[in-house]
Homo-oligomer: A and B are copies of this chain.
Amino acid sequence: MNASGPCVILNEPQLAENIGAVARVMANFGLSDLRLVRPRDGWPQDRAWASASGADWPLDGARVFETLRGATADLRLVMATTARPREAMLEVVTPREAASRVAEAHAQAWPTGLLFGGERAGLETADIALCHAIVTIPVDPRFHSLNLAQAVAITAYEWRLTRAAGPPPRFTAGPPPADQATVHGFYDQLEAELEAAGFFHPPEKRASMVRNLRVAFGRAGLSEQEVRTLRGVVTALAKGRGRVLAKLAAARLKNPPD
């Protein structure tokens, strides 16, 4: 269970709803080994499952421990997440640096854990002393009260990013851009219609007006389908409306309004 990621250790958690919310974010980021040290209201608690939105497996497999020492006995690297390192007794690292160290440890098959304190008290100095580093999430000092599940989410999110080989996954949008001949054909059509409509005045500004239009369309990286659509737009605007107006004009000539 623990092989593919750090376990999450909650020290004296209070609200079962928060334990459920932690299970949900663990599932979101691919973690499953949940350990509870002296949960205030005992264990199991139905309200934890109710608030996990279906992420039952970290709850089903959760183990309860009487002491933090017991909960971390098999681990080789334990990072303590706390907003308020009262004493700089251990190195303080960012969630990103913590994730990187956890990933390095896992590359060597070392079991690791992320430790979080209870909602009210956080972690005691004695708890932190059992860990290897302190992780501090860079919250605004004017409002540093971070929800327990949020703290787990950010730490787990950073860990998940280390799983991706190389840079995090990046998707390019949809279809590839059309070849330039296709795009230029659209420019030809657009500019010819604008010429016919008397758009380019004064004539000496034609070159810069054409250039500005091409730059705007060029930045969009139009696909072939989009070029076809825009050609249809130009045709519709130039011809369709023209037909409507021509009909109107013809009707007026037949039946002059005066």
Contact = CB atoms under 8 A, between A and B. Distances in A.
Interface of A: 21, 24-25, 27-30, 53-55, 85, 87-94, 96-97, 136-140, 142-147, 149-150, 153-154, 157, 160-161, 164, 168-174, 190, 193-194, 196-199, 209, 212-213, 216-217, 219-223, 225-226, 229-230, 232-234, 236-250, 253-254
Given A147-B21, A149-B150, A198-B236, A216 B220 contact: yes
Contacts of A197: 236-237, 239-241, 244
A21 B28 CA distance: 18
A196 B226 contact: no
The prevalent SS among residues of A at the interface is helix
A175 to B, nearest CB: 8
22 contacts: A24-B143, A53-B147, A85-B171, A88-B171, A91-B171, A92-B170, A92-B172, A94-B168, A138-B169, A150-B153, A153-B154, A154-B154, A194-B237, A197-B241, A197-B244, A199-B233, A212-B225, A220-B220, A237-B238, A242-B246, A245-B245, A246-B246
Contacts of A91: 171-173
